[in-house]
Chains A and B, each alone.
Chain A
Amino acid sequence: MAQAVKKKVEGPSADKVHVWPYLVRLEFMCAIICMIVLTVWSIVIDAPLEEAANPTKTPNPSKAPWYFLGLQDILVYFDPWFAGVVAPSLIIVGLMLIPYLDVNPKGNGYYTYAERKVAIWVYCFGFLVLWIALIIMGVFLRGPGWNLFMPWEYWDPHKVVALTNVDLPYAFGIRTYNAAMIFGGLVVGGYFVLGTMVYFFMERKALKNVGFLRMFLKIQLLLIMVGIVVKIVLRLGFNIKYVWVTPWFNI
């Protein structure tokens, strides 16, 4: 059983083994090891229990459970309706759409990078950077006032951070509300329209095989994902608060 498979597997039915004992014993061993690790972990490290809940005493910083800290971190760059509601919904829907959008027949059931580079890059970027890296940042580097602290820095609750952010239309010298709203709308709309057009032009040969709806949804989801990064860069690099301000929502 433990010997490496030398010959290439020819088909799904080739080279089968009995589940009893080969798989069952593996599962059994795996379960025992996991239970030992979990038991030792539970004996050595206690689950946290702080003082009793007190609605009049807000801790600073107040953090969501660690697995949601990536979302809490993009609250810095986006309003709650996007960071807290639309973004997680899009993540769930986008993940569910993956098998229907990715029509590349290669790489089904084995590890390959060469045969599906784009898919792997997109997923790894979303999972490792936008999800895991932001969680690590949220857990370890976000202190009082949700300010960024390096690991060696003291979490000073009175840290002064200059708020010099302006909206994108303002940075371009637009001072009236309505003109700013139109300008912002053009920028955001233009980003999506141009992005979609460029994608459709570059992938025009694939249109026949992949289909319009697939390609359209794919590029919209991708543009939203890239847009989150663009907004983060605009904020951190250029102190831009909002790109588009309307009476109903801000982006």
Chain B
Amino acid sequence: MDQIKSGKIFSELAKTVTESQVWTSSFRHGYADTPRNRVLQIASNVWLHLHPVKIQRHALRIKFTWCMGGITFLMFLVTVVTGVVLMFYYRPVGEYAYYDMKYLQYDVPFGMLMRNMHRWAAHSMVITVWLHMFRVFLTGSYKPPREFNWVIGVFLVTFTLLLSFTGYLLPWDQLSMWAVTVGTNMARATPFLGHEGPFAEFVGVSPRYDARSVLLGGSLVGPPALLRFYVLHCIFIPLVAGALMIVHFWRIRKDGGISGPL
């Protein structure tokens, strides 16, 4: 009883576990909580070395960061993982796409869950990236020396929306087809480059050959648009956004770490 009250039982338990044969054969040495080891945990770990080894105390405060940048990145990773799973079952072909969705939802083990997680993570990412941007604005973190990283961030917001928008078409149901129709109809009003846009007559664009048809691979949202959006969604935009994320995270470090009162 005394052992439980004093909390000694936990150290006894830890000792029993860490001195067992299974433990000692699995882990070759212990972890001593020394400043040197704390630094090495970050500096010698390929995943963690994105961090500096030390940060200002205020950067830990959730009231300061809202955690929104990190959550946005987490949501991106979730969509990458679930997206790869979905790609095993989905074919971006007019005849198959919708029925692959049905197959995914009703026949594939955990298919519905993968699809739900992909969609909700994508929507969350849109919201969290806006909130991250709002937080960065409110703390004035775009001010020197971080101007350029803000610009990268604006690109990333844009690519987040484009990622979500291109993915919106892929279920190939009424909701997706008409949402993308409404969205891409705007392209035909592009000044100079869209056939219904201002000054189009001076350029000579037509419904079959203008900004919108380049986007859709045709004059309406059809199978070529589905394939284009699929390639943009799964390959092109993730690669560009990923590259920009690398720059974004790297610049945080190079610009003196997370912003704080000077």
Contact = CB atoms under 8 A, between A and B. Distances in A.
A, B in one complex = yes
A162 B56 CA distance: 61
Interface stretch (B2-10, B20-28, B139-147, B235-243): B139-147
B179 interface: yes
A108 interface: yes
A52 B174 contact: yes
B146 A99 contact: yes
B15 interface: no
Contact of B260 (A67, A106, A110): A110
Contact of A9 (B56, B70, B134, B177): B56
Interface residues of A, number: 78
Contacts of B151: 96, 99
Contact of A96 (B98, B140, B154, B176): B154
B59 interface: yes
A209 interface: no
Nearest to B71: A34
Given A24-B48, A45-B116, A84 B189 contact: yes
Interface stretch (A56-64, A191-199, A210-218, A226-234): A56-64
A161 interface: no
**Interface extent on B, as a size class?**
35 or more
Contact of B161 (A16, A67, A105): A67
Interface string A85-109: 1100000100110111010111111
A86 B191 contact: yes
Given A38-B78, A41-B120, A108-B259, A99 B150 contact: yes
B91 to A, nearest CB: 15
B178 A79 contact: no
B254 interface: no
Interface of A: 1, 5, 9, 11-12, 14-24, 26-27, 30-31, 34-35, 38-39, 41-43, 45-55, 57-59, 62-65, 67-68, 71-72, 79-81, 83-86, 92, 95-96, 98-100, 102, 104-112, 116, 120, 123, 127, 248-249
Interface of B: 35, 38-39, 41-42, 48, 51-60, 62, 64, 67, 70-71, 74-75, 78, 98, 101-102, 105, 112-113, 115-121, 124, 126, 130, 133-134, 137-144, 146-147, 150-151, 154, 157-158, 161, 164-165, 168, 171-179, 181-183, 185-191, 194, 196-199, 220-222, 256-257, 259-262
26 contacts: A9-B58, A12-B56, A12-B256, A14-B56, A17-B56, A20-B38, A23-B55, A24-B48, A30-B67, A30-B70, A34-B71, A49-B101, A49-B102, A50-B173, A53-B98, A80-B185, A81-B189, A85-B190, A92-B158, A96-B150, A98-B142, A99-B147, A105-B144, A108-B259, A109-B260, A110-B139
